[in-house]
Amino acid sequence: MSKLRAGLIGLGAMGRNHARVLSNLDGVELVGVVDPAGDTTGTLRAPVVPELSDLLALGVDYVVVACPTALHEPIGLELAANGVCALIEKPLAQSVDAATRLVEAFETAGLVAGVGHIERYNPALQSLRTRLEAGELGEVFQVVTRRQGPFPHRIADVGVVMDLATHDIDLTAWVTGQQYASVAARTVSRSGRLHEDMVAVVGQLADGTMVNHLVNWLSPLKERSTVVTGDKGCFVADTLTADLTFYANAAIDTEWEALRAFRGVAEGDMVRFAIPKREPLLVEHERFRDAVEGKESDIVTLRQGLRTVQVAAALLESASDGKVVSVATSGSDAEPALR
């Protein structure tokens, strides 16, 4: 079988990772890259061209869009108009209106398109969702995420909500199989930039599950933590190390009265699961390649990406107005519900 011809737009930090994976992906040939600065390292085997029109002239089946968020809409619309499938880095777009136009363009053209919400392919979160699906936690009460680290100087066109918090929005909806119903948020900007660099979120999912997100670009500590608590205990996923740990509620009560009073809910067994750890970006590319080939594949659809942008916009609205904001559905796809 002939290989799919893939293109890439953007050679920033994430773009170079995409180039590395695409250059070695089975069934795919990276035929060209768009970046006005060219290949500054001289390591790419594919030609680097200055304009999207130059890439289209090479003939491509699909393109990975890894340029600044503000450019996602015009580039995506041009790809759709030229009949080219696209994997667009998260967030889908910088506004709900722009994301909606991208959804409509690719759906009208009947093209495969997805959003690069890479956390869905993290081994720890994939295992967590499978275990929640199997009822290992019982009823889910709360999802808490912490995502913090130093400021990435490459991000200039959006704030921490659209850039970083969209990871947590998408993974929370995905692992629980529930959409957001309402959110309340507070933001601050301490780095002197136009956009916010810290956000604290309290929200509720459609089934009543409480969610909390703490996200910032102001910490020297890099942390990526997801904690899901339910009536049988809690799961802790560290997506930096792809480790998943389960803390069970104790089945046996303690007779030590002072200790029992101090600890409250009794502690049970702690298990750290041994899980296969494949690179999430490679898995994401394999899934998208399969979808372009017409195979059944689990990708993040543009409508799911739109839903994430809607929630992020609601966070910014809440932070601006100081109110709880209901999240509009706008007909976007629901996350696949847990069985």
Evaluate if residue 176 carries a pLDDT over 70: yes
Q: What is the pLDDT of residues 129-155, one digit of tens each?
A: 999 999 999 999 999 999 999 877 666
CA–CA dist 141, 241 (Å, integer): 25
The predicted-structure confidence for 109-135, as pLDDT tens digits, reads as follows 999 999 999 999 999 999 999 999 999
Give the Å distances, CA to CA, from 265 to 149, 187, 231: 32, 33, 11
338 has a pLDDT exceeding 70: no
**Residue 278 and residue 123 in contact, taking contact as beta carbons nearer than 8 Å:** yes
Averaged confidence pLDDT in the chain: 91
- b/e sequence 257-283, b meaning 16+ C-beta within 10 Å: eeeeeeeeeeeeeeeeeeeeeebbbeb
Residue 150's pLDDT is what?
87
Residue pair 203/180 in contact by the 8 Å Cβ criterion:
yes
pLDDT at 308 over 70: yes
In 217-266, the DSSP E strands lie at 223-230, 233-238, 243-249
pLDDT at 155: 61
Q: pLDDT at residue 339 above 50?
A: no
Q: What is the pLDDT of residue 332?
A: 46
Q: How confident is the model at residue 43 (pLDDT cuts 50, 70, 90)?
A: confident
**What is the spatial distance between Cα 64 and Cα 12, in angstroms, rounded to a whole number?**
13
Average pLDDT over residues 17-38: 96
pLDDT over 90, % of the chain: 82
SS3 169: helix
User: Residue 197 to residues 126, 155, 161, 163, 239: CA-CA distances in angstroms?
Assistant: 28, 11, 8, 10, 21
Strand partners, 238: 225, 243
Residue that the structure tokens 């969209």 belong to: 166
Instruction: Give the tokens for residue 266.
Output: 């009794």
- Report d(CA 145, CA 257) in Å as an integer: 33
Report which of 187, 239, 243, 173 is spatially closest to residue 217, judged by C-alpha positions. Answer: 187
Nearest to 22 by CA among 40, 1, 42, 4: 4
Cα Rg, the chain, nearest whole Å: 21
pLDDT for res 157: 74
Residue 158's pLDDT band, with cuts at 50, 70 and 90, is confident
Distance CA 238, CA 246 (A): 12
Instruction: Give yes or no for a contact between 6 and 59, defined as CB atoms under 8 angstroms apart.
Output: no
For 259-283, how does the pLDDT look when each residue is reduced to its tens digit (9 = 90+)? 555 544 566 788 999 999 999 999 9
Question: What tens digit of pLDDT does each residue of 86-98 get?
Answer: 999 999 999 999 9
DSSP characters for 8-35? Answer: EE--SHHHHHHHHHHTT-TTEEEEEEE-
Looking at the chain, the whole-number percentage of residues with pLDDT higher than 70 is 90
β-strand 210-216 against 325-326: which pairing, if any?
unpaired
239/100 Cα distance (integer angstroms):
30
pTM passes above 0.85: yes
E strands, the chain, are: 4-9, 28-34, 48-49, 62-65, 85-89, 113-116, 140-148, 180-188, 198-205, 210-216, 223-230, 233-238, 243-249, 267-272, 325-326
Assess contact for 118 and 280: CB atoms under 8 A: yes
Q: Please report which confidence band the pLDDT of residue 160 belongs to, taking 50, 70 and 90 as the band edges.
A: very high
Tokens of 31: 């035929």
Contact partners, residue 333, CB within 8 Å, separation at least 6: 301, 303, 304, 307
